[in-house]
């Protein structure tokens, strides 16, 4: 078939497992954005769709093209302007729109951009839930709907800010000193609206939105991206630090000494913050690292439910089991109070609330978790065949432990466990290892598995 990309198994290489994302203009451009808008209209059949974009320089032209596609199908477009991904989720559900689209490439390099689409109630659209159909329709260009939709400008910051304040009341916070690093992403705009309502003493870092990324693309999961934040915290007096990625659907934490806290332990911390009133709430977690989360949830009387990694799977599972919170070690945190969607602002407020109410430092709150369940952090390796590595690892370690295939390969060997899973987009395998209070064992087994993977 002409134009079919055999390597990706797609019509367009920009179509990924959960969104459209690619280099501008070779993989994603106004022509494709227009076609995706028309295809979205035919596949989802919406009447009103909200659209926003982050700070990337290509955002406005991609918005205009996507909106034209919707308008030419008779769909009205609510233009949100520069926002974060969670604000599109908020606007879609809060105002009762039929769908939404966030134009973002999250933490990808500056030359990338993307389209992250949802349907009503901010339900995700991924491969099997509409994205494959949208791609095929965009390729074939056999449009079913025509019309003249209109465009409406809407500023949702005030309502979004109130939404956050309804989840965490300012009265529950003390005047903590917090370093907030936006990395020139879009979070600074939202924080300027939110912070005047809070008693926190904020040190602002790189709050100015800048799609040129003069200090690098904000992706605090990378050591080089967070190094200056850590240095500033180590040389100053703060209760904790927080940093966001460009579209602020993820946030990352640092303790009062400037030490970066793995997202795994933040999952346990947020579960703890939402279970302390003795509720029997359900908490959803991913299989990569589990023991700390299970320990906390079970001790507090909650109901832990494991789910395959990935926002579409987590959101679907949370709705199915009516979960209060879902957390991934990749720093995606999902909340029932936010229509089961991920947010980078709510974790910031919940951690501030927990530090305020317990009177304990953030470092103190996570130290015991880190000691009880030391982990490797995610170790990525390029491989020729993900399937071959998974098969070999299971052959070596499977007979010694309990095997689980919820997401890739997880094996529990009693005193330690690991998870191996392949990337959705590249020939990369991701390893996570944890132990029960034995850091030396964890490090030994991590090295052992890395050697097996890379040989």
Catalytic residues: 106
3-state secondary structure string across the chain: CCCCECCCCECCCCECCCCEEEECCCCCCHHHHHHHHHHHHHHHCCCEEEEEECCCCCHHHHHHHHHHHHHCCCCEEEEEEECCHHHHHHHHHHCCCCEEEEECCCCCCCCEEEEEEEEHHHCECCHHHCHHHHHHHHHHCCCCCCCCCCEEECCCHHHHHHHHHHHCCHHHCCCCEEEEECCCCCHHHHHHHHHHHCCCEEEEECCCCCCCCCCCCCCCCCHHHHHHHHHHHHCCCCCEEEEECCCCCCEEEECCCCCEECHHHHHHHHHHHHHCCCCCCEEEECCCCCHHHHHHHHHCCCEEEECCCCHHHHHHHHHHHCCCEEECCCCCEEEHHHCCEECCHHHHHHHHHHHHHHCCCHHHHHHHHHHHCCECCCEEEECCCHHHHHHHHHHHHHHHCEEECCCCEEEECCCEEEEEEECCCCCEEEEEEEECCCHHHHHHHHHHHHHHHHC
Q: Please list, in sequence order, all residues whose beta carbon lies within 8 angstroms of the beta carbon of residue 294, skipping any fewer than 6 positions away.
A: 285, 304
Distances (CA, A) of 332 to 44, 162, 263: 26, 22, 8
For residues 119 and 98, what is the distance between their CA atoms, to the nearest angstrom?
6
Structure tokens that stand for 307 in this block? 């789910």
Burial 363-388 (b: 16+ CB within 10 A, else e): bebbeebbeebbbbebbebebeebee
For residues 362 and 177, what is the distance between their CA atoms, to the nearest angstrom?
12
Q: Which residue has the tokens 């106004």?
A: 30
Q: Which residue has the tokens 């359900």?
A: 282
């Amino acid at each position: 078939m002409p134009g079919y990309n055999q390597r990706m198994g797609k019509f367009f290489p920009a179509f990924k497992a959960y969104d459209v994302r690619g280099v501008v203009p070779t993989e994603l451009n106004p022509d494709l954005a227009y076609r995706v808008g028309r295809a979205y209209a035919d596949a989802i059949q919406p009447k009103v769709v909200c659209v926003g974009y982050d700070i990337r320089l290509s955002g406005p032209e991609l918005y205009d093209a996507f909106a034209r596609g919707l308008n030419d199908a008779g769909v009205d477009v609510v233009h949100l302007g520069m926002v974060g991904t969670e604000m599109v989720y908020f606007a879609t559900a809060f105002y009762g729109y039929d769908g939404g689209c966030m134009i973002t490439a999250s933490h990808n390099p500056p030359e990338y951009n993307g389209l992250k689409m949802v349907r009503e109630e901010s339900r995700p659209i991924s491969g099997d839930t509409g994205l494959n159909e949208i791609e095929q329709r965009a390729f074939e260009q056999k449009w079913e709907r025509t019309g003249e939709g209109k465009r409406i400008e809407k500023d949702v910051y005030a309502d979004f800010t109130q939404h956050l304040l309804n989840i965490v009341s300012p009265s529950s916070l003390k005047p903590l000193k917090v370093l907030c690093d936006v990395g020139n992403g879009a979070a600074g705009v939202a924080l300027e609206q939110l912070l005047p309502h809070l008693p926190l003493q904020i040190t602002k870092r790189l709050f100015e939105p800048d799609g040129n990324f003069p200090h690098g693309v904000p992706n605090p999961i990378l050591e080089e991206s967070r190094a200056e934040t850590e240095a500033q915290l180590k040389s100053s007096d703060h209760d904790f630090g927080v940093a966001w990625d460009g579209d602020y659907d993820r946030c990352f934490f640092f303790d009062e000494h400037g030490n970066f806290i793995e997202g795994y332990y933040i999952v346990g911390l947020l579960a703890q913050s939402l279970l302390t009133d003795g509720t029997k709430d359900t908490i959803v977690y991913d299989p990569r690292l589990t023991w700390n989360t299970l320990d906390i949830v079970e001790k507090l009387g909650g109901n832990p439910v494991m789910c395959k990694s990935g926002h579409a799977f987590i959101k679907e599972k949370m709705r199915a089991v009516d979960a209060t919170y879902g957390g991934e070690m990749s720093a995606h945190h999902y909340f029932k109070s936010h229509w089961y969607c991920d947010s980078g602002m709510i974790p910031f407020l919940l951690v501030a609330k927990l530090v305020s109410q317990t009177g304990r430092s953030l470092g103190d709150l996570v130290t015991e978790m880190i000691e009880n369940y030391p982990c490797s952090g995610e170790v990525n390796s390029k491989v020729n065949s993900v399937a071959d590595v998974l098969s070999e690892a299971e052959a070596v370690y499977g007979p010694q432990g309990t095997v689980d295939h919820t997401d890739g390969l997880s094996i529990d060997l009693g005193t330690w466990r690991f998870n191996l899973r392949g990337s959705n987009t590249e020939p990369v395998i991701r390893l996570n290892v944890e132990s029960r209070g034995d850091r030396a064992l964890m490090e030994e087994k991590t090295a052992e598995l890395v050697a097996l993977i890379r040989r």
